[in-house]
Amino acid sequence: MNIKSKFKIFPVLLVVYISVLPFLVVYLSAASPVAGLILPVLFLAFIVFFWMTVFRTRACEVEISDNVIIIKRYFGLGKSIDYDFDSLDGFITLFESSKGNVSESIFILKNGKRVGSISSFYHINFNQLKLVFKEKLIDLGERESSFIKENAELFR
């Protein structure tokens, strides 16, 4: 058995847009004789923060082999880390709502810390991956989603 996560088109386009936009804004502000650079640089800093937190924890590429799970962060651009299923604690499920839509995320835990995740927002084959996780890992239940709790746990 070998299953690899596949990303949806919308999140990938969103990442490209979010990544290019701040540089464009900084360039246009630097070229303008009346625009200042303070807000564009702050916008760029926000995007870097966004990349380092949300994409680090949510946009993981996951590949599942027989007894090993391979996780790459940052939409598969990060380094590859292998985990044996036996060494993992299990997974937790988180439901998040936004503008009338509910997305489901699964966080894979090792020693109480998140090591990877899959999300119905980012992954096309989320349900297939979820079934494999339910087979091979312990379901540690659902967690409440709150903005403050999530932001505090992003750095764990």
Which residue type is seen at 2? N
Look at residues 40, 44, 42 and name the one whose alpha carbon lies nearest to residue 32.
40
pLDDT single digits (tens) 39-65: 788 888 888 887 777 777 778 899 998
Model-wide pTM > 0.75: yes
pLDDT single digits (tens) 100-147: 788 889 999 999 899 999 999 889 999 999 999 999 999 898 876 654
Report yes or no: 27 and 145 within 8 Å, Cβ to Cβ. no
Pairing mode of beta strands 68-72, 113-119: unpaired
